[in-house]
Structure 1
Amino acid sequence: MADFKIVVSDPKTKTYQFDITGAEANQFIGRSIGQTVDGATVGLDGYTLTITGGTDNSGFVMSPTLPGPRRQKVLIANGVGYSAVAKGVRRRKFLRGSEVAPDITQINTKVTGYSDKAIEEILGGGSEEVEAPAE
């Protein structure tokens, strides 16, 4: 069974993190960066999520340019996973392919389709006031 941390970034408000296991997690396996997923898998009914990246259990990032789910050592000049310090510098780095596999730990997504209810309302934390700490 796969366990994932799903990071949902809402461009309008903020970022939320969900832990999913079992059948919900299996819906992500085999999907690639750029594909859409129903938000109901993480409890956000009516929302549409787009996979934007992620990391595996060793911390290697998913690259949208590499096909498949495996880890590869590639020569890169700039892009996901490496930023060159000078022009023309290239480096051989391990990157993960763009397909979600069971050894992926974190999946980054962004909201692309909205529901009529706000995420705060769905999660139940939007209308409550937080008391200031006592001084």
Structure 2
Amino acid sequence: MANFKLTISDIKGKSLSKELKDSDANPLLGLELGNETDAAVVGLSGKLKLTGGSDKSGVPMRDDVHGSARKRVLLSKGVGLQDAEHGDRVRKLIRGNIISEEIYQINCKFDGELPVETPAEEPAAETEDKKE
């Protein structure tokens, strides 16, 4: 029973969030970061490229750590390490690059443009005109 929160970004820099539960989320289980999958999972036409994510406690995924388990890795730069000076290496807790049920958030890149949603203020304007 997997629940994922997908953050989908398009080529223009716009992003949106979708939540996948249970059977809708099953096609993503077992995929690696960098893989492409069909965007029909979230109701779009095109491809989604998996770029990152984090687990339920906020531990980030890293594409050069194999597997789905948490590991303590010696890092000098990149994902999961901030404010490192030249020559510093720090051992940090990182999650592997395979999506499992422990993952909470998945970041994706969409190969087209996301559809524009209309604001919900339009119906309110119509009801004011009817009153007059």
TM-score per shorter chain, which class? Answer: 0.7 to 0.9
1:21 aligns with 2:16: no
- Report Cα offsets for 1:78-123 as digits up to 9, x if no partner: 11100343210110000000000001000000012x3xxx5325xx
Q: Tell which structure's C-alpha radius of gyration is larger.
A: 2
Q: 1:88 to 1:103 in 2, by over 3 A?
A: same
Q: Could you say which structure has the higher helix fraction?
A: 2
Letter in 2 for 1:109: C
SS in 2 for 1:119: coil
Q: Is the contact between residue 14 and residue 114 of structure 2 (CA under 8 Å) also seen in structure 1?
A: no
SS in 1 for 2:115: helix
Equivalence for 2:2: 2
Equivalence for 1:41: 41
Q: Which runs of 5 or more residues in structure 1 are unaligned?
A: none
Letter in 2 for 1:90: R
SS in 2 for 1:54: strand
The TM-score normalised by the length of structure 2 is 0.85
Distance in structure 2 (CA, Å) of the matches to 1:82 and 1:13: 24
Distance in structure 2 (CA, Å) of the matches to 1:63 and 1:27: 20
Q: Is the contact between residue 77 and residue 83 of structure 1 (CA under 8 Å) also seen in structure 2?
A: no
Distance in structure 2 (CA, Å) of the matches to 1:15 and 1:100: 21
The TM-score normalised by the length of structure 1 is 0.83
Aligned residues: 122
Equivalence for 1:119: 114
Equivalence for 2:87: 88
Distance in structure 1 (CA, Å) of the matches to 2:114 and 2:73: 39
Distance in structure 1 (CA, Å) of the matches to 2:64 and 2:52: 11
Q: Is the contact between residue 76 and residue 84 of structure 2 (CA under 8 Å) also seen in structure 1?
A: no
Q: Is the contact between residue 34 and residue 51 of structure 1 (CA under 8 Å) also seen in structure 2?
A: yes
Distance in structure 1 (CA, Å) of the matches to 2:46 and 2:83: 37
Return structure 1 stretches of 4+ with deviation > 6 angstroms.
none
RMSD: 1.7
Equivalence for 1:70: 69
